[in-house]
């Protein structure tokens, strides 16, 4: 074994190839959830506009499961000496897991967009499928949140912040649904409902969410790399 074996790029490729061999088919199965989402809570004939929300929620739920499945085995009951003796650096493994999950998330989002193009769940009478930008980034929010749950030390401070964020997320979703119901379809606009908020505002929310994802991932990476002493909890 030469020193090239420990080159960062080779380490990354080896770990990514291993993750791909173990989990690639899982994302193929996840495509089924993305497609099923078009038939969940649908109201065919109620409006000419189909708000694409259900598929992104099912995809996000799948990404939570998949992120746990990929990342959690690397944190179970191992000491710092175990990680020191691995033939790869811990933060390189972190990047490889993140790359696999990001690619998987992009694949499932693409499947949802394909379902929109095929007008799944519309029974052939839904004219328009409306994409909400903040829903589009929801699977990546799920990945970042789950990685934080896996890699961060879960003390009282962590649980308090997690509970607060969960309450805020639920309140935001209820508020969004209520706003959508405030603009019901009616005959004056040919039963074509308006967006619950301006598209530009939705793009801003999506950008804020993506920024939060990047900040959370960086925080998780930094804290995971610092956990070098004692057992991994």
Query: Measured on CA atoms in the order 168, 58, 29, 131, is the torsion positive or negative?
Result: negative
For residue range 186-204, list pLDDT tens digits in order: 666 666 777 778 888 889 9
Using pLDDT thresholds of 50, 70 and 90, give the confidence band for residue 233: very low
Highest mean predicted confidence (pLDDT) among 52-56, 89-93, 110-114, 157-161: 110-114
pLDDT at residue 61 is higher than 50: yes
The phi-psi region of residue 89 (left if phi > 0; otherwise alpha if psi is between -120 and 50; otherwise beta) is beta
Q: What is the mean pLDDT of residues 109-136?
A: 85
Q: Answer whether 103's CB lies under 8 Å from 21's CB.
A: no
């Amino acid at each position: 074994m030469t020193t090239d074996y420990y080159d960062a790029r080779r380490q990354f490729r080896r770990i990514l190839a291993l993750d791909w061999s173990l989990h690639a088919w899982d994302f193929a199965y996840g495509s089924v959830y993305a497609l099923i989402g078009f038939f969940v809570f649908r109201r065919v004939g109620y409006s000419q506009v189909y708000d694409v929300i259900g598929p992104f929620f099912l995809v996000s739920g799948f990404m939570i499961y998949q992120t746990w499945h990929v990342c959690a085995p690397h944190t179970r009951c191992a000491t710092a000496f175990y990680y020191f003796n691995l033939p790869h650096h811990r933060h390189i493994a972190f990047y490889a897991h993140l790359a696999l999950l990001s690619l998987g998330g992009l694949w499932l989002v693409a499947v949802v967009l394909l379902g929109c193009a095929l007008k799944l769940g519309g029974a052939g009478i839904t004219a328009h499928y409306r994409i909400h930008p903040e829903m589009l980034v929801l699977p990546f929010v799920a990945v970042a949140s789950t990685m934080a749950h896996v890699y961060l030390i879960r003390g009282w401070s962590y649980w308090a912040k997690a509970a607060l964020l969960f309450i805020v997320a639920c309140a935001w979703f209820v508020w969004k649904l209520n706003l959508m119901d405030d603009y019901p379809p009616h005959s004056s606009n040919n039963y074509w409902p308006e967006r619950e908020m301006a598209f530009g505002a939705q793009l801003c929310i999506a950008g804020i969410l993506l920024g939060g994802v990047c900040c959370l991932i960086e925080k998780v990476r930094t804290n995971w790399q610092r956990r070098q002493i004692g057992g991994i909890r």
